[in-house]
Structure 1
Amino acid sequence: MNLSALSRKLIYLVVLLAMLVPLYMLGQPSGGVGDSGGQLSEMRDKFNIAESDLGEISPASETMKLASLGMRGVAATLLWEKAHDYKVQHEWDRLKAVLNQIALLQPHFDKVWEHQAHNLAYNVSTEFDDYRQRYEMVREGTEFLTKGVRQNRNAPRLVWYTGWFYGSKMGMADEKTQFRKLFSEDEVLHQALMEEGIAVDSPEARGPYFKPDNWLVGRLWLFHGYDLVDSGVKIRRQTPLNFFETGPKWRIKHAEAIEDEGVLDDRAQNAWQMAADGWKEFGERSVPTTAAFTIKLGQLDELTRLKALRLEEFRKLTGDELPGIEQQYLPKYMGYAKQADSDVRMRAIELAGEIEDLDLRINKTEGYRKQINYQYWDTLAQAEQEERTVKARQLIYDAEKANEAAELDKAIALYEEAFAIWAEIFDDYPILTVDDSAQDLVQSIRRYSVAIDSEEFPDDFPLAAFVEMMGNYDQVSSEIYEDIRYTQKEKIEERKRELEEEERQREREAAEAMERERKAKEEAKAAAAAAKAAEMEATAEEDEPATAEDSEEAAESESAPDGDDGGEKGDVKIEPEPTAE
């Protein structure tokens, strides 16, 4: 049957109206308390993917999405192409405008914020000659990332990336000296950071000159991301090990930066102490792994100790006649446990399971520690916080200044004093011979060689072994490095014991000094009391004869007649009566 055009249109209209009913039931928005809305609204709430859950709501972004009429992907692709063209043509204002449009179309696509912020801070900034303009473009990149964090509050990697920018780009660029100074004086940026919840006015963010430091501010951003993860947000597109190591490492980078800038006193020592504490806290953090358990990088020694205890008990249960377990690369503990006597077999099986689990944890911990060179950073923080290390750096710094001023005698004396201290440090911490500071020390040795006008060093040169190991100022070989890594642990423990013994010796000396002072005070007090008693006794002896003489004189005066005194004028003198014959 042929239908007229009007009939077909009416049928289409009825079908469309009928389809609106299920669409409304599926997409009905939530009406508030007690009304969860349609099925799509319930799913958004269940998986926390509603616009309000993802981040800050942007009306402009929603408008652009609707205006694209389902062609958002095509529009975004065209805008990305335009952004590249504007970058090539050096149309910076248009580039930033296009980036804002891309962000409005794709606000929850993390790569938009990461890639374009990196583009501004690392690529576009290098197109300017003046370091001030470069800094402004770096700041544009960090602010672009901050905007992305606001619109994606459950994206820890964006927060991590922001902290990385503040530390790495501003603190490791060729213009790092200028960038760090400009950042410390950028009050507008500081106020914006305060509004984002980054306490740039706190001691945690301030450097040695009581101004915000880019490394420490970046660390605060990173710890903000750690708080997100600790609250239950998952880390995406990044390994947990790399995610958690950066914050503590920024403390170390801060300490290195202020030393490079000439802060070589108790402020640098305090910065290294806080860096060591931060790295130790990182070692106590539970880090997820590819296995079914988490690990703590700082508990390798504890795991090894527990394994030794379990293994000793396991040997006692399984018997000495069994082959040596330590001679096998991957021993089958369970097989040995099943050969034990029946009365101890269950306990042996339990121990076998525990030992195998400890083996897995030890292997995983060692592997993760090697990935980030955990032992090196731990050793560096421990060595750098010592007073002698700060003194050695101060001497090198002063020697370089004297050398630049052509004060060669002074420079040579300072170099030699510093080299003697560095030799002691390298003896106690061999792993530092492959540090970046060791490469700087090589340059100082070169300048010292020029200052003494000789390429040969005396036989008693403190760093002779170091120079020989470097192979005529070449890089250290991997074999030497591995040897240093294996011997470092014993050296560190020995140095720790020496420091503890020195501390105990200082405490004993202080206690003895206090005891001597107390005894001296008591003796002085006793001597003063004895002297006072002797003085009082002498005074009493002198007063006693004088009193006796006064008493005798008084008695004589009382017994003498009044007439003997001759009397005074006008007194009547009475004559005695004559006696009868």
Structure 2
Amino acid sequence: DASSAAMNLVLLGMRGMAVNLLWMDLDQQKDMKRWAEMQATTESIVRLQPHYEKVWDFNGWNLAYNTSAEWDAVPDRYYWVKQGAKFLKRGVERNKRSTELHYRTGKVIQHKIGYADEAADYRRYFLSDPDPAYEGKPDLVINPEGKDNFLEGKRWFELACERELSRPQHILDRSLFRATPARCQFDYAQALQKDGKFGEGTREAWDQARKDWTEGYGREIFHALIGSEESDIRLEMTDEEIKQIASTPDDEQRVRKAVDAYQKMTNYRYWRMRAYAEAEPETAEAHRAIFEAKQAYKAQEFDNARNAAYRGMEGFDKLLKSPEYEMLTDEDLLCEECLLAWKIWDDIYQVAGEKIPDDYPLKWLVELKQGNDQLMANVNKQFKRLFLENR
């Protein structure tokens, strides 16, 4: 970049001092909420340090997470989230071999847009920008193909994984880093259900998640160190495959131990089980029933809401009691959905002044999770939002 090179030449040996002063200014401007000055200072810093990846990483994160939180209107917050993603993308263009900047860009698009409190609005804006200049279309700088944010995040994580093969990253353990594209596919499938979509497209999304997890990620080779011994393993290995690479019984035991340790670290068995469980027709119907319960509750159709919630509770009670799927009780998001259905069902009984039955589906799960303060807080937060929308 010509202007960047010129600035560095003019400063001669004073570049380090200039950069330090600019960083001090940036920190002060952030505290004083002088956003326009912050942008100008950031531009000066990147001209002086265009290949220092932490500059792009920190300032992209700062725009997307900190600056956006200072605004009241959701469209204004989204604007700054976009600015963070765009800034990181510029960093990628200046550092094309960077593994970590590709990952950070994907993280903002996947996590900040998909999991913020404003996620429902952000995900909609990602496909139809609220700025009139875009005429109801996406901002092509961050969403060039008009994809769902989780699928666009997946694309960035795939690019990061491609670069990781030649340029190692220092963000996550390699086995967790390589899982990110497949995890985005899981996020996408779950988001479709949350949006009330339960048709063939959602089933295909879950099937693709299963393939990405077991046939893609699960077949990658990882160099595992167990104690002082080393093994090349895959997370998806049959007994026969383990025996083939083991030369002795001790070797076989060591490989099994390594596979088990890595499967636990990446939660591999849970996500494999979840993908198969979501392929069950009864699971889709249980999700649909809970979605209908929420919609009926908001519309004050309380009999319909109670009946739909009960159907969803019955469906998940049957699923979670199945021996092959009992591990799903450890997954907070799924449990939150189940407990929200119970909360709606329970609330309608209490408001009506009717006696709550002594036994009901998922009673055991309610009792099991009562001690999980974080999970119950999330359930109560979701219910409160429904309650306020209902009123």
Counterpart in the other structure of 1:223 = 158
Distance 1:357 1:62 in 2: 56
Tell me, yes or no, if structure 1 residue 296 matches structure 2 residue 239: no
Q: CA 1:134 to 1:390, structure 2 compared with 1: closer, same or farther past 3 Å? A: same
Whether contact under 8 Å (2:293, 2:306) holds in the other structure is yes
Counterpart in the other structure of 2:341 = 444
* Aligned equivalent of 2:203, options 260, 269, 277: 269
Q: Which range moves more in the overlay, 356-365 or 106-115?
A: 356-365
Q: CA 1:139 to 1:62, structure 2 compared with 1: closer, same or farther past 3 Å? A: same
Counterpart in the other structure of 1:178 = 121
Please state how far the C-alpha of 1:90 moved relative to its aligned partner.
Answer: 1.4
Distance 1:73 1:180 in 2: 41
Please state how far the C-alpha of 1:302 moved relative to its aligned partner.
Answer: 4.6
Please state how far the C-alpha of 1:79 moved relative to its aligned partner.
Answer: 0.6
Distance 1:390 1:445 in 2: 18
Distance 1:193 1:462 in 2: 44
Distance 1:149 1:299 in 2: 36
Q: CA 1:122 to 1:265, structure 2 compared with 1: closer, same or farther past 3 Å? A: same
Whether contact under 8 Å (1:159, 1:225) holds in the other structure is yes
Tell me, yes or no, if structure 1 residue 463 matches structure 2 residue 362: yes
* Aligned equivalent of 2:177, options 230, 238, 243: 243
Tell me, yes or no, if structure 1 residue 369 matches structure 2 residue 263: yes
SS of alignment partner, residue 17 of structure 2: helix
Q: Which range moves more in the overlay, 99-108 or 292-301?
A: 292-301
Deviations 1:391-417 (A, max 9, x none): 111111112222333333323322332
Letter paired with 2:276: Q
Please state how far the C-alpha of 1:455 moved relative to its aligned partner.
Answer: 6.2
Deviations 1:331-364 (A, max 9, x none): xxxxxxxxxxxxxxxxxxxx43xx3333333222
Please state how far the C-alpha of 1:293 moved relative to its aligned partner.
Answer: 4.3
Whether contact under 8 Å (2:85, 2:108) holds in the other structure is yes
Distance 1:113 1:300 in 2: 43
Distance 1:447 1:90 in 2: 41
Whether contact under 8 Å (1:163, 1:221) holds in the other structure is yes
Q: Which has the larger radius of gyration?
A: 1
Query: For this pair of structures, how many residues does the alignment match?
Result: 358
TM-score of the two chains, using structure 1 as the length reference: 0.58
Kindly report which structure 2 residues correspond to 1:518-557, keeping only aligned pairs within 5 A, or say none. none
Distance 2:343 2:124 in 1: 30
Letter paired with 2:237: Q
TM-score of the two chains, using structure 2 as the length reference: 0.84
Please state how far the C-alpha of 1:153 moved relative to its aligned partner.
Answer: 1.4
Deviations 1:215-270 (A, max 9, x none): 1001101111222234x333345431222111110011111112112112222222
Please state how far the C-alpha of 1:457 moved relative to its aligned partner.
Answer: 2.6
* Aligned equivalent of 2:10, options 64, 67, 83: 67
Whether contact under 8 Å (1:216, 1:250) holds in the other structure is yes
Q: Which runs of 5+ in 1 are unaligned?
A: 1-57, 195-199, 202-210, 311-350, 477-581
Deviations 1:183-237 (A, max 9, x none): 112458653357xxxxx43xxxxxxxxx52111001101111222234x333345
Higher relative contact order (CA 8 A, sep 6+): 2
Tell me, yes or no, if structure 1 residue 118 matches structure 2 residue 61: yes
SS of alignment partner, residue 358 of structure 1: helix
Whether contact under 8 Å (2:82, 2:142) holds in the other structure is no
Please state how far the C-alpha of 1:180 moved relative to its aligned partner.
Answer: 0.8
Please state how far the C-alpha of 1:88 moved relative to its aligned partner.
Answer: 1.3
* Aligned equivalent of 2:101, options 158, 175, 188: 158
Counterpart in the other structure of 1:495 = none
SS of alignment partner, residue 191 of structure 1: coil
Tell me, yes or no, if structure 1 residue 144 matches structure 2 residue 40: no
Kindly report which structure 2 residues correspond to 1:173-572, keeping only aligned pairs within 5 A, or say none. 173-186=116-129, 190-193=139-142, 200-201=144-145, 211-230=146-165, 232-280=166-214, 281-290=216-225, 292-299=230-237, 301-302=239-240, 351-352=247-248, 355-428=249-322, 429-435=325-331, 436-453=333-350, 454=354, 456-459=356-359, 461-470=360-369, 473-475=370-372
Deviations 1:443-480 (A, max 9, x none): 22122123234564344x3333333433xx3339xxxx
SS of alignment partner, residue 141 of structure 2: helix
SS of alignment partner, residue 108 of structure 1: coil
SS of alignment partner, residue 178 of structure 2: helix
Deviations 1:97-120 (A, max 9, x none): 111111111111111111111111
SS of alignment partner, residue 294 of structure 1: strand
Q: Which range moves more in the overlay, 365-374 or 142-151?
A: 365-374
Q: CA 1:474 to 1:74, structure 2 compared with 1: closer, same or farther past 3 Å? A: same
Counterpart in the other structure of 2:28 = 85
Q: CA 1:59 to 1:455, structure 2 compared with 1: closer, same or farther past 3 Å? A: farther
Whether contact under 8 Å (1:269, 1:387) holds in the other structure is no
Distance 1:367 1:246 in 2: 19
Please state how far the C-alpha of 1:70 moved relative to its aligned partner.
Answer: 1.4
Distance 2:156 2:363 in 1: 44
Identity %: 27
Q: CA 1:302 to 1:455, structure 2 compared with 1: closer, same or farther past 3 Å? A: farther
Distance 2:53 2:222 in 1: 24
Letter paired with 2:44: Q
Please state how far the C-alpha of 1:288 moved relative to its aligned partner.
Answer: 3.9
Distance 1:457 1:300 in 2: 46
